[in-house]
C-alpha cells in the first residue's frame, strides 16, 4: 500500500525542484501525495476533473511564470494526449508529468493500459524516467524539471505502485 513516507519524499522532490503549481486527479496510490499537496502551503494545488484540463491549466500557469506539474494515473495520460500534442508539444510548454503506472510490472490492474503506456509516451516523444526505488526519485525529479525547460516539452516520471 502507498506510504506517507514515500509521498513525503515525492513532495519534497517537487519542492526542491521549484515546482509551484500542481494539477492533479486522484488514484488510490496517489492519495498521500494529493493529501500532502492539499495540506501544504508550498504548492498551489489545482484538482481537476479530467486530465486534459490539467495540461491546459499547467500551460496557463507556465505562461504566468510558474513551474508546473500534473499528477495522474496513466489512464489520465491517455486522456491528456490531445492537449499534450496540440498544446504542450506544439507550443513547447515545459511541465513535469508524474504518472502512476497502473498495469505495470507486478500490478494486476488494467493490463492493456499498462502495455500501451510507454508506447504512448514514446509516440508523443515525451522523455520519461521510471525510478526503481523511492531513493531515486529526488534526483530524477530535479533532472526532469531541468530537462523539461531545456527541451521545452513535457517530461514524465512514471511511478510503479511499489515506489509509492
Rounded to the nearest whole angstrom, what is the least distance from the CB of residue 14 to another protein in the complex? 11
Rounded to the nearest whole angstrom, what is the least distance from the CB of residue 93 to another protein in the complex? 7
Rounded to the nearest whole angstrom, what is the least distance from the CB of residue 158 to another protein in the complex? 21
Q: Is 116 exposed, middle or buried (0-12, 13-18, 19+ CB in 10 A)?
A: middle
The angle subtended at Cα 147 by Cα 79 and Cα 27, nearest 5°, is 35
Interface with another protein, residue 47, by CB under 8 A: yes
Q: Of 10, 14, 48, 140, which lies in the binding site for another protein, with binding defined by CB under 8 A? A: 48
**Which residues, in sequence order, are bridge partners of residue 71?**
24, 98
**Which residues, in sequence order, are bridge partners of residue 156?**
97, 128
* Residue placing its CB nearer to another protein in the complex, 41 or 112: 41
Given the rule CB under 8 A, which residues bind another protein? 16-18, 21, 44, 46-50, 52-68, 82-83, 86-87, 90-93, 142, 145-146, 149-150
Amino acid at each position: 500500500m502507498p506510504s506517507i513516507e514515500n509521498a513525503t519524499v515525492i513532495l519534497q522532490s517537487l519542492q526542491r525542484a521549484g515546482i509551484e503549481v500542481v494539477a492533479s486527479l486522484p488514484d488510490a496510490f496517489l492519495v498521500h501525495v494529493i493529501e500532502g499537496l492539499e495540506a501544504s502551503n508550498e504548492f498551489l494545488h489545482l484538482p481537476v476533473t479530467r486530465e486534459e484540463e490539467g495540461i491546459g491549466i499547467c500551460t496557463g500557469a507556465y505562461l504566468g511564470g510558474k513551474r508546473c506539474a500534473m499528477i495522474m494515473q496513466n489512464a489520465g495520460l491517455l486522456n491528456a494526449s490531445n492537449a499534450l500534442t496540440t498544446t504542450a508539444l506544439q507550443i513547447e510548454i515545459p511541465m513535469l508529468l508524474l504518472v502512476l503506472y497502473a498495469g505495470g510490472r507486478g500490478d494486476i490492474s488494467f493490463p492493456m493500459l499498462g502495455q500501451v503506456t510507454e508506447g504512448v509516451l514514446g509516440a508523443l516523444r515525451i522523455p520519461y524516467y521510471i525510478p526503481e526505488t523511492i531513493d531515486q526519485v529526488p534526483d530524477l525529479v530535479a533532472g526532469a524539471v531541468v530537462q523539461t525547460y531545456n527541451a521545452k516539452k513535457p517530461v514524465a516520471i512514471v511511478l510503479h505502485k511499489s515506489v509509492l
